[in-house]
Chains A and B, each alone.
Chain A
Amino acid sequence: MAWEPKDPWGGSGQDPLDEALRKAQDQLTRLVPGRGFKSIIYIVLAVLALWQSVFIVAPDEQGLVKRFGDIVREVESGPHFKIPFVETVDTPKIEKLHRVEVGFRTDRGRTQFVPKEALMLTGDMNILSLEFIVQYKIKEAKNYLYKVADVESTIHNAAEASMREVIGKSKIDEALTIGKAQIQQEAQDLLQGVLDQYLAGVQVATIQLQDVNPPEAVAAAFKDVASAKEDREKLINQSHGYRNDLIPRAKGEAAQGINQAKGHAQSRIARAEGEANYFLQTLKEYKLAKDVISKRVYIETMEEVMANTEKIILDSKAIGNVLPFLPLDRQSRSRGDTTTQGGDSR
């Protein structure tokens, strides 16, 4: 309770200054019993006054000094003085990128879906599940702090309203696929306009769509559409494959047929020429000695024919008697053979 008589310098009582201090102390304690208590109050007050008169504005903050409810000066980051107890300081983080989540909340790294915010009606009367974040900076610290109550929830509400307004004008397929960038931009412009109207003192940096999905109840059907699209491409590709297989083969077959025909035609002509020339050459000689040559050819032919065949020589008068006994069945078989052979060439 009383002044601690301990010497802060740890020296003995020989120092004259020390001596004087101790004397003063003794006097004080002797004079009034409440004197020690009073000095504590003074010291506490002094420390408090010092504590109250210095403040530090962090690098990402701005300092707004208020005296009796009104702003008297604005200060940059760094240490500053103020009148203790009379002046107060607000230090909004003007450099920080603030973040608002709509349709979900992140809580210690875990995201929680908020269906009430996320599910919204599209212009073609479908329901879409959409999550997005708004990032903003404090543009006008004075407006941000003193013009609008509950700035955070104001931004949240305005963001939700803006996004719903934009989605309300979009079709679900646009929103799910190509229109994302446009939706973000439109919602951002709309939100900025609204917040400016409210004098919120906020600059919207970005609106970023996170998950844009069909609602869970119909997600499977939407996925099936995607796979149906792929099926369509697959079927078309397969049929192209079929065509790619079929046509070259047909062309090959066609070329083969034509080549065969060409070969045949060419060979027919060549053979014809050969045979014609053979004929003409032999004809020339034949014309020189018709009788002899025809006889010679006849006999040669007969020689050949007779050499290879069974022969029965009958007098023309006897034919009628013998004919019934000839083995005609064998004959006919043989004749069949010869005719097939003969039919082949010309």
Chain B
Amino acid sequence: MKQNLLMGVILVFGLLLVLGLSPFFVVDLTETAIVVALGKPVQTITEPGLKFKIPFYHQVTFFDKRYLDYDAPARDVITSDKKSLVIDNFAKWRIVDPLKVYQAFQTQRGALQRLDDIIYSELRVELGRHELGEIVAANRALIMKVVSDRSNEKASAYGLEVLDVRIKRADLPEQNEKAIFQRMQAERERQAKQYRAEGEEEAQKIRSEAEKDKQIILAEAYKTAQELRGDGEAKAYKIYATAYEQGPEFFEFIRTMEAYKKTFANNTTLVLSPDSEFLKYLKKR
């Protein structure tokens, strides 16, 4: 009999557990729980552990208390310089006051919807104040900080904390992307042309410089050569002059004789008069 009673108790417990009607429930360290008595929240549990409730009378709703990931879909925003930008952002948020969230949205999903509205509007407002270049490059961190802080301020009214809003991607719309590719292409073509032209320029400089140097080298050499020649010639003249001045008349005579020898060489026909000095003895005879 006693055993049967025990079995009965176990069976009832089992049934209750299966149906989710146990008087016990566990709150994990990653969760908080709201205990609701006939539609009225009576207790907020933030500490983990084994908890008690009255089946049927109490309902328990759990909320995640970890930092949650919210990855928004990519959306278009307009920058202050009227350019369109595709922003893909994500946010880290958590539920800090589960009671408020329960009262306002009942579920986590509902809270997320509100959060999305807040973040998106803050993001759009803030990005609308900056130019495209700032968003992509310079001020991204600052913009994200401002959006995070403002979103957090607004979200705290609903018992939510926004830790960080972060722009994952800030890209240009597809049609602008094509324009960028074209500009990049043109830019690179320009660079390539410039490099080649620079090469030509430098090469021409070096070549012409080389040619100039060659000319100078040759001209300098010619100059030196002529000076050397002139010097030699002058010295030779001086030597001749000093020598010939010793006997100008002998020089004239000897030189003339030499000239005769050379000028009246082979095959010259001389028409001589017997009166000439050379032939004077011919005549006398």
Bound-state CA distance A47–B164 (Å) is: 49
Report yes or no: B236 in contact with A338, Cβ–Cβ below 8 A.
no
Report yes or no: B257 in contact with A298, Cβ–Cβ below 8 A.
yes
Q: Which of A168, A218, A287, A315 contacts B247 (CB 8 A)?
A: A287
When each residue 244-285 of chain B gets 1 if its CB lies under 8 Å from chain A and 0 otherwise, what string results? 101100110110011111111111111111110111001000
CB neighbors of A among B122-142 (8 A) = 133, 136-138, 140-141
Number of A-B contacts (CB under 8 A): 347
Q: Which chain B positions have C-beta within 8 A of A235?
A: 196, 199-200, 202-203
Report yes or no: A277 in contact with B243, Cβ–Cβ below 8 A.
yes
Q: How many residues of chain B are within 8 Å of chain A by beta carbon?
A: 113
When each residue 93-134 of chain A gets 1 if its CB lies under 8 Å from chain B and 0 otherwise, what string results? 000000000000000000000001001110101110000000
Q: How many residues of chain A are within 8 Å of chain B by beta carbon?
A: 116
Pairs A-B, 8 closest by C-beta atoms = A265-B232, A254-B221, A232-B199, A261-B225, A276-B243, A272-B236, A235-B199, A243-B210
Q: Which of A221, A247, A319 contacts B189 (CB 8 A)?
A: A221
Q: Which of A221, A279, A287, A331 contacts B243 (CB 8 A)?
A: A279
Of B36-44, B62-70, B98-106, B152-160, which binds chain A? B62-70
Report yes or no: B29 in contact with A255, Cβ–Cβ below 8 A.
no
Report yes or no: B188 in contact with A224, Cβ–Cβ below 8 A.
yes
Report yes or no: B263 in contact with A338, Cβ–Cβ below 8 A.
yes
Q: Is B114 in contact with chain A by the CB < 8 A criterion? A: no
| In the complex, residue of chain B having the shortest beta-carbon distance to the beta carbon of A334 | B267
Report yes or no: A68 in contact with B48, Cβ–Cβ below 8 A.
yes
Report yes or no: B171 in contact with A121, Cβ–Cβ below 8 A.
yes
| In the complex, residue of chain B having the shortest beta-carbon distance to the beta carbon of A339 | B263
Q: Is B81 in contact with chain A by the CB < 8 A criterion? A: no
For B181, B194, B232, B270, the residue with the greatest tally of chain A CB atoms inside 10 Å of its CB is B232
Bound-state CA distance A165–B191 (Å) is: 27
For A199, A269, A282, A304, the residue with the greatest tally of chain B CB atoms inside 10 Å of its CB is A269
Q: Is A147 in contact with chain B by the CB < 8 A criterion? A: yes
Pairs A–B under 8 Å by Cβ, sample size 16: A70-B49, A120-B171, A197-B164, A229-B195, A232-B196, A239-B205, A247-B214, A247-B217, A257-B221, A268-B232, A272-B237, A294-B253, A299-B278, A310-B268, A313-B279, A316-B275
When each residue 255-267 of chain A gets 1 if its CB lies under 8 Å from chain B and 0 otherwise, what string results? 1011011101111
Report yes or no: A342 in contact with B262, Cβ–Cβ below 8 A.
yes
Q: Given A127-B181, A228-B195, A276-B240 in contact, is the A308-B266 Cβ separation under 8 Å?
A: yes
Report yes or no: B278 in contact with A302, Cβ–Cβ below 8 A.
yes
When each residue 68-97 of chain A gets 1 if its CB lies under 8 Å from chain B and 0 otherwise, what string results? 111100000000000000000000000000
Q: Which chain A positions have C-beta within 8 A of B242?
A: 276
Q: Is B12 in contact with chain A by the CB < 8 A criterion? A: no
Q: Which chain A positions have C-beta within 8 A of B218?
A: 250, 253-254, 257
Bound-state CA distance A298–B254 (Å) is: 9
Report yes or no: A308 in contact with B253, Cβ–Cβ below 8 A.
no
Q: Is B166 in contact with chain A by the CB < 8 A criterion? A: yes
Report yes or no: A149 in contact with B272, Cβ–Cβ below 8 A.
no
Of A5-13, A21-29, A50-58, A154-162, which binds chain B? A154-162
Q: Which of A225, A243, A304 contacts B188 (CB 8 A)?
A: A225
Q: Is A321 in contact with chain B by the CB < 8 A criterion? A: no
Bound-state CA distance A249–B151 (Å) is: 80
Report yes or no: A246 in contact with B211, Cβ–Cβ below 8 A.
yes
Report yes or no: A310 in contact with B217, Cβ–Cβ below 8 A.
no
Query: Other than the known A127-B180, A161-B166, A313-B273, what 19 A-B pairs have Cβ atoms closer than 8 Å?
Result: A68-B50, A148-B67, A164-B170, A221-B189, A228-B196, A243-B210, A254-B221, A255-B221, A258-B221, A261-B224, A261-B227, A266-B232, A268-B235, A283-B250, A301-B257, A310-B267, A310-B270, A311-B272, A337-B266
CB neighbors of A among B173-217 (8 A) = 177, 180-181, 183-185, 187-189, 191-196, 198-200, 202-207, 209-211, 213-214, 217
Q: Is B75 in contact with chain A by the CB < 8 A criterion? A: no
Q: Given A157-B168, A221-B188, A310-B267 in contact, is the A238-B203 Cβ separation under 8 Å?
A: yes
Binding site for B on A (CB under 8 A): 66, 68-71, 116, 119-121, 123, 125-127, 146-150, 153-154, 157-158, 160-161, 164-165, 168-169, 172, 194, 197-199, 214-215, 217-218, 221-222, 224-225, 227-229, 231-236, 238-240, 242-243, 246-247, 249-251, 253-255, 257-258, 260-262, 264-269, 271-273, 275-277, 279-280, 282-283, 286-287, 294, 297-299, 301-302, 304-306, 308-316, 319, 326, 330-331, 334-335, 337-339, 341-342, 345
Report yes or no: A312 in contact with B269, Cβ–Cβ below 8 A.
yes
Bound-state CA distance A76–B133 (Å) is: 51
Report yes or no: B225 in contact with A260, Cβ–Cβ below 8 A.
yes
Q: Which chain B positions have C-beta within 8 A of A150?
A: 68-69
Report yes or no: B264 in contact with A194, Cβ–Cβ below 8 A.
no
B82 CB, min distance to chain A CBs, angstroms: 16
Q: Which chain B positions have C-beta within 8 A of A247?
A: 210, 213-214, 217
Q: Is B26 in contact with chain A by the CB < 8 A criterion? A: yes
Q: Which of B185, B211, B250, B260 contacts A221 (CB 8 A)?
A: B185
Report yes or no: B204 in contact with A239, Cβ–Cβ below 8 A.
yes
CB neighbors of A among B76-93 (8 A) = 90, 92
Report yes or no: B206 in contact with A242, Cβ–Cβ below 8 A.
yes
| In the complex, residue of chain B having the shortest beta-carbon distance to the beta carbon of A214 | B184
Q: Which chain B positions have C-beta within 8 A of A275?
A: 240, 243
Q: Which of B68, B71, B181, B261 contacts A215 (CB 8 A)?
A: B181
